[in-house]
Amino acid sequence: MSWQQQRERGNAAGIRLALGVYRWLGKRFCYAISYPAMVYFYWSNAGLRRALADYYRQLRGLDSTIAYTPFANVKQFGFGIIDRLDVWLGRTERLNITRHNHHVLLQQAESGQGGVIFASHLGNFELSRAAGRERLPVTLNVIVDYANAEKINSVMQAVNQDFLANVIAVEHIDMLLAMQLKEKVDAGEFVVISADRVNQKSAGHSLAVPFLGRPAAFPTGPYILAKILGCPVFSLYAFRHSASDYEVYFHRLFERVTLPKRQREAAIKDYMRAYAQQLESYCRKYPQQWFNFYDFWG
């Protein structure tokens, strides 16, 4: 089952309730009352348990010292959602965010041209976006697929419309949108796109490269977009250490993405392998913060 075929487990009322509890009783209380929900979510979802077992099997095949802790991923995911409330409510001063190598974005912005940023579902991207918004004088335009979370999106529009100001919700990227994004990049802005998930509509636009010891499909769209935009490609990760402590890592992945017509697929695979290797290295370092709860190698 793909990630988009999974039925939406949350709902708008639940998110609003969490926001109300957070406002009145605080983050620690939210952590406490969310724990039973996470236990239920884990044990009621056999597909999730199989997916995490598969993930740890692959991970431990490369490094047997990594502990088998699948429920910890669900717990980190749940606590991470609560941490996002700080971001959604504009309370980022409560977060202690340590940034590594963030100068690569600053230097690029100072050049007058922006870039493409590859995001993933390893770590808490909302927090990494906050790290960019609050402390770095750069504009991040985030491309998202809200098909699987329309209710949450409707809540966000009511809670903090500023947070959605640079969010671009799309089903697919056509040439018109690509040209609009190029204008943004040429004006010094950055375009953020998920580079680790293949959705139903792009299933025919993916390639398989080794990831944690087995071939896994990654979308080709981010690489084609980077080629069209003609700009450097970066990656961004945010990892949770505690309720308020996060580390954010910035990387300059590629100076440019070039795709020769006769060797287009091979060229994409070369770039894709480099990205998958980086993703794998962070999985080893932060194994409990992998949040792709579906059959990633299926």
Q: How many domains does the chain have?
A: 1
Residue 29 lies in a domain: no
Range of the structural domain that residue 159 is part of = 95-289
Residue 64 lies in a domain: no
Question: Residue 149: what pLDDT?
Answer: 47
Residue 140 lies in a domain: yes
Token representation of residue 272:
């894709």
Distance (Å) of CA 281 to CA 58, 211, 272:
13, 10, 14
Residue 187 lies in a domain: yes
Residue 285 lies in a domain: yes
Residue 37 lies in a domain: no
Residue 7 lies in a domain: no
Token representation of residue 141:
């335009």
Token representation of residue 257:
């993405």
**Closest by Cα among 133, 6, 69 to 286:** 69
Q: What's the pTM value of the predicted model, to 2 decimals? A: 0.90
Whole-angstrom distance, CA of residue 195 vs CA of residue 200: 14
Residue 10 lies in a domain: no
For the cut 50, the answer to whether the pLDDT of residue 111 exceeds it is: yes
Per the DSSP assignment, residues forming a β-bridge with 210 are 215
For the cut 60, the answer to whether the pLDDT of residue 4 exceeds it is: no
Distance (Å) of CA 29 to CA 21, 25, 35, 126, 180:
8, 6, 10, 21, 44
Confidence of residue 159 (pLDDT cuts 50, 70, 90): low
In this structure, what DSSP letter does residue 26 have?
-
